[in-house]
DNA sequence: CGAGATTCATGTGAAGTATACCTTTAGGCTTAA
DNA sequence: AAGCCTAAAGGTATACTTCACATGAATCTCGTA
């Protein structure tokens, strides 16, 4: 039984308790640091390429690639900020739009992308029903109405093309060549190097973009970045020695992902604070690592459509009894039963097959197509989540599906 | 015994369908003069 | 007569289904040593 004053005391206490954090924002994903470390050559190159825009000349299209957390998006945003600043000082009609193509239901198809663009220009359109050509036309007209230098940044562009084919890129370049007054510059960002390689030659040449590689950070570089951020983020002495090093080492092990390192540090500190510790210790990092991965998976799972969840539930259910060698056939059998039980019409095997493939793309399961010789051909499904998270995943799934 | 044919269970591509939503158009009803 | 509303017609994107064919190694078959 908590007395009325109890909660009040708690809050008072909470307020007066000194926090580990000085400025937590510094460690959050959207934070824009003053200086970007170890990316001078890339920034330089990007600046060189984009600069003509300030003289109202069309810059080359640009393609940035490198693993996640190597500063692609950050660098691009930095360049964007600088450009917009200079442009507005000199009255240059410059406009930059940043779109992440991976966001489901926002920009993951050609139609939705253009509709999103029109939205940016303040001309919202319905999300279905119109011919795609019509959208292009509207977009084209809007652009050509006023003289404007337009830069379109497409993050995770490989996702877009993988789902919808090359036509989008082709159409966008075509628009540019037809524009009279305005100029459209494309910036593609991708972590898939093969994407640019495998692009249709015709498209490649019509894009004619300059490629810039973002190599992974090494452990020392990550350490430096982390050190810089943690000085800003924490009160002095709140980080025990070795913590930054270990975060850096963890992240370096995973292809030098700086974002991950920063997340790790932040979550570690959050855990430390919640535990009532005065400072962040090394073993907070391990807890943080597990938590980050779990949270990521939970988030993905919760936002999936019901059918996806049902398929996933079947996979995990089978996994409980038989951790190895899960095949599509058995998953489908169980899925059929479950989807009927919860009043969801069962989808065909064909569709479920695609769903499984999509779950693979999301990184929740990993699948390999194998041939079992005489016994046919199937996908071998493995669960890609940390085992410690699985009970909780089952819980989430059965809640979402309102299974008993 | 080994090369080639067979087989199985499902992968995968293409085309078709259902649904939800869009615009256009034409008819009917209301309204105001 | 002009204006407004409504419903039908004609169109699209998306999620899914249907159909049909592709896969690829374990197993089978059968000729040969």
**Residue A344 confidence (pLDDT):** 86
Nearest nucleotide by C1' from A113 CA?
A: C13
For the CA of A109 and the C1' of B21, the distance in angstroms is 17
| Radius of gyration over every alpha carbon of chain A, rounded to an integer in angstroms | 25
| Per-residue pLDDT tens digits for A331-379 | 999 999 999 999 888 999 999 999 999 999 988 999 999 999 899 999 9
CB neighbour class for A10 (10 Å; exposed up to 12, middle 13-18, buried from 19): exposed
Protein CA at A292 to nucleotide C1' at B18, angstroms: 41
Helix ranges restricted to H, A121-166: 132-145, 157-164
How far does the CA of A345 sit from the C1' of B6, in Å? 37
Pair of tokens at residue A169: 């890129």
List all nucleotides in chain B with at least one atom under 7 A from a protein Cβ: 6-14, 20-23
User: Is the CB atom of residue A253 positioned under 7 angstroms from any atom of strand C?
Assistant: no
Answer with the residue of higher pLDDT: A141 or A301.
A301
- Strand C positions within 7 A of protein Cβ atoms: 11-20, 22-28
CA of A365 to C1' of B10 (A): 19
Please state the rounded mean pLDDT for residues A165-178.
80
Query: How far apart (Å, rounded) are the C-alpha atoms in residues A252 and A72?
Result: 17
Q: What is the mean pLDDT of chain A?
A: 87
What average pLDDT does range A306-329 have in this prediction? 92
Nucleotide nearest to A347 (CA to C1'): C16
pLDDT at A404: 63
SS3 A347: coil
Residue A209 gets which letter from DSSP?
Answer: P
- Please choose, from the candidates A157, A393, A174, the residue with its C-alpha nearest in 3D space to the C-alpha of residue A298: A393
Q: Please check the confidence at residue A325 and state whether its pLDDT lies above 90.
A: no
Instruction: List the A110 CA – B19 C1' distance (angstroms).
Output: 20
As a rounded value in angstroms, the CA-to-C1' distance for A131 and B24 is 14
Minimum-distance nucleotide, CA of A133 to C1' = C12
Q: What is the pLDDT of residue A80?
A: 92
Instruction: Provide the CA A385 to C1' B10 distance, Å, integer.
Output: 25
The answer to whether residues A118 and A138 touch, using CB atoms and an 8 Å cutoff, is yes
CA of A3 to C1' of B1 (A): 87
Protein residue ranges contacting nucleic strand B, Cβ under 7 Å: A 126, 128-130, 327-330, 349-350, 353, 356-357, 369, 373-379
Sheet holding A149-155, edge to edge: A94-100, A149-155, A183-190, A62-65, A210-213
Query: Is the CB atom of residue A270 positioned under 7 angstroms from any atom of strand C?
Result: no
From the alpha carbon of A350, which nucleotide's C1' atom is closest?
Answer: C17
How many beta carbons lie within 10 A of that of residue A70, not counting itself?
25
Which residues are registered as beta bridge partners of A213?
Answer: A65
Q: What is the pLDDT of residue A111?
A: 84
- Residue A128 CA and nucleotide B24 C1' are separated, in Å, by 17
Nearest nt (C1') from A367 Cα: B11
The model's pLDDT over A104-122, given as tens digits with 9 standing for 90+, comes to: 777 778 888 888 888 888 7
pLDDT the model gives residue A239: 80
Q: What is the pLDDT of residue A329?
A: 94
By C-alpha to C1' distance, B23 is nearest to A130
pLDDT digits (tens, 9 = 90+) for A191-217: 877 777 777 777 888 888 899 999 999
Cα A332 versus chain centre, distance: 30
Residue A315 has pLDDT above 90, yes or no: yes
**More confident site: A393 or A112:** A393
Distance A277 CA to C25 C1' (A): 58
The nucleotide minimizing the C1' distance to residue A104's CA is C14
Question: Nearest CA to the C1' of B6 belongs to which residue?
Answer: A374
């Amino acid at each position: 039984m908590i007395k009325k004053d109890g909660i009040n005391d708690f809050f008072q206490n909470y307020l007066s308790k000194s926090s580990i954090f000085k400025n937590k924002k510094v460690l959050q994903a959207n934070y824009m640091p003053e200086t970007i470390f170890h990316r001078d050559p890339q920034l330089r190159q990007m600046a060189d390429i984009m600069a003509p825009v300030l003289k109202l000349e069309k810059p080359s299209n640009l393609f940035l690639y490198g693993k996640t957390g190597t500063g692609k998006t950050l660098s691009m945003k930095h360049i964007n900020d600088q450009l917009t600043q200079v442009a507005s000082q000199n009255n240059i009609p410059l406009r930059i739009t940043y779109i992440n193509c991976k966001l489901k239901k926002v920009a993951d198809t050609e139609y939705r992308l253009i509709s999103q663009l029109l939205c940016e220009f303040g001309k919202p359109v319905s999300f279905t029903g119109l011919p795609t050509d019509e959208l292009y036309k509207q977009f084209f007209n809007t652009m050509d109405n006023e003289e404007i230098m337009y830069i379109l940044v497409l993050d995770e562009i490989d996702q877009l093309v993988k789902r919808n084919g090359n036509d989008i890129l082709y159409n966008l370049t075509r628009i540019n060549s037809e524009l009279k007054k305005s100029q459209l510059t494309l910036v593609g960002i991708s972590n898939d190097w093969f994407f640019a390689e495998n692009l249709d030659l015709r498209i490649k040449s019509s894009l004619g973009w300059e490629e810039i590689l973002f190599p992974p950070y090494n452990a020392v570089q990550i350490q430096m970045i982390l050190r810089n951020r943690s000085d800003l983020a924490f009160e002095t002495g709140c980080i025990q020695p070795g913590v930054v090093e270990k975060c850096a080492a963890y992240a370096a092990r995973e292809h030098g992902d700086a974002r991950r390192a920063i997340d790790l540090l932040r979550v570690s500190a959050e855990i430390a604070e919640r535990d009532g510790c005065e400072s962040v210790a090394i073993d907070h990092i391990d807890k943080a690592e597990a938590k980050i991965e779990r949270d990521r998976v939970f988030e993905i799972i919760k936002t999936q459509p019901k059918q996806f969840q049902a398929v996933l539930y079947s996979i995990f259910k089978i996994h409980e009894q038989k951790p190895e060698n899960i095949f599509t056939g058995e998953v489908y059998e169980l899925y059929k039963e479950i989807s009927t039980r919860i009043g969801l019409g069962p989808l065909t095997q064909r569709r479920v097959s695609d769903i499984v493939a999509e779950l693979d793309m999301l990184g929740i399961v990993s699948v390999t197509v194998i041939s079992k010789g005489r016994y046919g051909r199937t996908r071998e499904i493995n669960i890609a989540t940390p085992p410690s998270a699985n009970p909780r995943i089952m819980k989430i799934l059965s809640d979402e599906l309102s299974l008993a």
